[in-house]
Structure formats: structure tokens, C-alpha cells
Amino acid sequence: EDQVTQSPEALRLQEGESSSLNCSYTVSGLRGLFWYRQDPGKGPEFLFTLYSAGEEKEKERLKATLTKKESFLHITAPKPEDSATYLCAELSGAGSYQLTFGKGTKLSVIP
Amino acid sequence: DTGVSQNPRHKITKRGQNVTFRCDPISEHNRLYWYRQTLGQGPEFLTYFQNEAQLEKSRLLSDRFSAERPKGSFSTLEIQRTEQGDSAMYLCASSLGQGDATEAFFGQGTRLTVV
């Protein structure tokens, strides 16, 4: 059964304190690994898609990387406005367009 | 606003009543998805349309749930005989896909409370 596990569940950082969020996914049949940001009471906002091990993508203070077993979302010098829940999702299985999400990591950046 | 639009944003209903939600996807997006999210959990897949065809349904989707996408444009999700366990945020997403995995863009969701 597809399973996506994110860690830690919650993370508190001081403004400017860099860190990484982890996402472990089902190893076989990965067709895409997605990162989303979600603010309270709102729908998820698309950030990145990664397709193969070794791939990296960047956007402002965020960088997503992918290995054969997991993905990392690196946050460099975070600001309070980066506070949100970060969701990871996998697309796997031939012919399916169902995203399987993890429970998310709730990030709080303290000024 | 050219994003995914969902209506209503909030719905409170009594147990046993039927409810219907509407989703207007991004123009020209051929793929449309419904997800459900409860507090502290990630979104959970419900169903997927490519144009007007419903191609995938979650095994968790009970017979009380039905979705349509007439003419491949907007979509509706109906829940019959609502139960308290149906209380959740219902999210719609759309994507432009002609091949494999493409990024899905989500709407703001409809929050359902069953009392």
C-alpha cells in the first residue's frame, strides 16, 4: 500500500535558522513527488514536482531534492511568512492519477 | 481570478441532509480531482475526472458520495444522507495533463460541518 511519511510533525525555527523537512515515500513505481504549502483554512499551494533521483528544484528560500527513498525540503534563512504546513505527496502506480499525501510538517518561524 | 473556484466556502448541515458542492477548474484544465481533508491529516483522494469521464474512484468513497463533471467543465460533489463523520474540508484540484504526472492546483476548499 502506498505510504508517505513526513518528519518532523512540527518544527519551530528562529528567523534565519536553516533546516530541512523529510518525506519518505513508497519506493517502487514513483512517477512524481510533489511538495505543497498549506496555510490554515486554505487549499494546498503547489511548490515543486520532482521526477527522478538526483533532481533538485529551487524557489526563493526553498529547495527540494529527491533520492531513491526520500525527498527533502530545505529551507534557507526562513522568515516568519514561511510559517505553514508543508505537505509531500507521491504519484505512483501505473495509470493512476491519485496523489497520496503525508500528514505534513507544521513549520513555525519565530521572529 | 483564474484559479480553481469552489462554492460554497462553508456549509453547515444537519445529519441526514443532502449537500452539493461545486468546483470550477482552471480554464482548459482537462483533469479534475476531489480530495477530502480532516484536521491534522493530509488530503485524501476521492475521485478523478479526465474531461467528463470519471476514471478513478477511491475504495473509501461510499455509495452516498457521487460526483459529476458534465461536458468536462465544472464538477459537482454530492453527499447524500450526511453523517457526522463526513465533516471535513472538501478540496477540488485541476491540472492540464496530456501525459504522465503534472502538477495539480487546488481551490480554497469547502468546509462541511455536519451537526
pLDDT, tens only, A44-54 = 999 999 999 99
**Residue A91 to residue A99: CA distance in whole angstroms:** 5
Q: What are residue B102's DSSP bridge partners?
A: none
Contact B36, B91 (CB under 8 A): yes
For A101, the closest chain B residue by CA position comes to B42
- Percent pLDDT > 70 in chain B is 95
**Residue A93 to residue B78: CA distance in whole angstroms:** 28
Mutate to test the interface with A, among B37, B46, B50 (most CBs of A within 10 A): B37
Is the per-residue pLDDT at A31 higher than 90?
no
Is the per-residue pLDDT at A1 higher than 80?
no
Q: Given the C-alpha cell 518532523, which residue does it identify? A: A8
**In the 8-state DSSP scheme, what is residue B71?**
G
Is the per-residue pLDDT at B100 higher than 80?
no
B55 touches chain A (CB under 8 A): yes
Q: B1 pLDDT band (50/70/90 cuts)?
A: low
Contact A31 B100 (CB under 8 A): yes
pLDDT of residue A96: 82
- Percent pLDDT > 70 in chain A is 97
pLDDT of residue B99: 62
pLDDT of residue B103: 85
- For residue A34, list chain B residues with Cβ-Cβ distance below 8 A: 103-104
pLDDT of residue A95: 78
User: What does the pLDDT look like over A49-99, one tens digit per residue?
Assistant: 999 999 999 999 999 999 999 999 999 999 999 999 999 999 887 778 889
**Residue A64 to residue A75: CA distance in whole angstroms:** 9
**Grid coordinates given for B57:** 474512484
Is the per-residue pLDDT at B86 higher than 70?
yes
Contact A4, A88 (CB under 8 A): yes
pLDDT of residue B41: 95
User: What does the pLDDT look like over A3-28, one tens digit per residue?
Assistant: 899 999 999 999 999 999 999 998 77
Residues from A contacting B (CB-CB < 8 Å) are 4, 31-32, 34, 36, 41-46, 49, 51, 87, 89, 91, 96-104
Interface contacts (A, B; CB < 8 Å): 63
Q: B17 pLDDT band (50/70/90 cuts)?
A: very high
Which of A80, A81, A84, A86 lies closest to A101, judged by CA? A86
Contact A49 B101 (CB under 8 A): yes
